[in-house]
Structure 1
Amino acid sequence: DAALTQAVPDILEDAENALPIALKQALAVSYDLYKTQCDAKAQLHKQVEAITKQNESCQRLMALEGVGPITAIELLSFLGNTSQFSDARGAAACAGVTPTQHS
């Protein structure tokens, strides 16, 4: 990301490079779209972080190794009310991340 965000403006501002104007214009439009998508992604990431910080079930899920905010929200939306499970193993079996539940 850093190399791209530095290189593209340099390319667009370089009047001496041999790029045709049409290509520079297309690159400028593409770069603007890229920046817009990066900004939107950052906004969504902040929203996901805020949701997981406010949700106790998400916090418990994120205490598991390898479970971050997005996975916690996905698991919670799949599992629904987590109080229906007596333990984490039951929830994991329901989500399909363990072979089966044998209790």
Structure 2
Amino acid sequence: MRKALPRWLEDAENGLTDAFRYLLNGLAEDLRHLDDRISSLDEQISQSVQQDPVASKLITLRGVGPLTASALAGALGNGKAFHRGRDFAASLGLTPRQHSTGGRDRRKRPVIPS
């Protein structure tokens, strides 16, 4: 959509009405504004992660970027609320569900939230 909008607006022979062209132009401006806002917020998060000792340690892990490090640092805090890593994982919903009957422990695979 981001690539197609400018082409649609530039092509005077594509049969779009002036009213629809005006609407598309407004939507393109909204997208540009949102892209600028996202870039600004990403920069703020990156600066915040550099100043937070927990987040700066998390960002050194492979696959963890500034946004994930910031979110995990917020959820983790100083880590003293959790006795084990499993407790933290359970707080995020990343541990298998437990279905036990008659002393027999059965765990299902974890359900990863989307």
TM-score (norm 2): 0.66
Residue identity over aligned pairs, in percent, reads: 32
Q: How many corresponding residue pairs?
A: 93
Tell me how far 1:51 sits from its aligned partner.
Answer: 0.5
Q: Hey, what's the Cα distance between the residues in 2 that align with 1:54 and 1:29?
A: 38
2:6 is equivalent to residue 9 of structure 1: yes
Which of 83, 93, 96 aligns to 2:87? It is 93
Which residue of 2 is the match for residue 74 of structure 1?
A: 71
**Contact 2:58 2:64 (8 Å CA) reproduced:** yes
Query: In proportion to residue count, which structure has more strand?
Result: 2
- 1:64 is the counterpart of 2:61: yes
C-alpha distance in structure 1 between counterparts of 2:30 and 2:49, whole Å:
29
Write out per-residue CA displacement over residues 8-66 of structure 1, whole angstroms, 9 at most, x where no aligned residue: 33432333331110110110011010111000000000001101111111111112222
Contact 1:79 1:91 in 2 (8 A): no
The more displaced of 37-46 and 8-17 is 8-17
Structure number with the higher helix fraction is 1
Runs (4 or more) in structure 1 with deviation over 6 Å come to: none
Query: What's the Cα RMSD here?
Result: 2.5
TM-score (norm 1): 0.72
Aligned to 1:28: 25
Greater shift after overlay, 12-21 or 41-50? 12-21
Contact 1:78 1:95 survives alignment (8 Å): no
- Aligned twin of 2:102: none
Structure 2 Cα separation of the partners of residues 92 and 43 of structure 1: 35
Larger Rg: 2
Whether 1:18 and 2:15 are equivalent positions in the alignment is yes
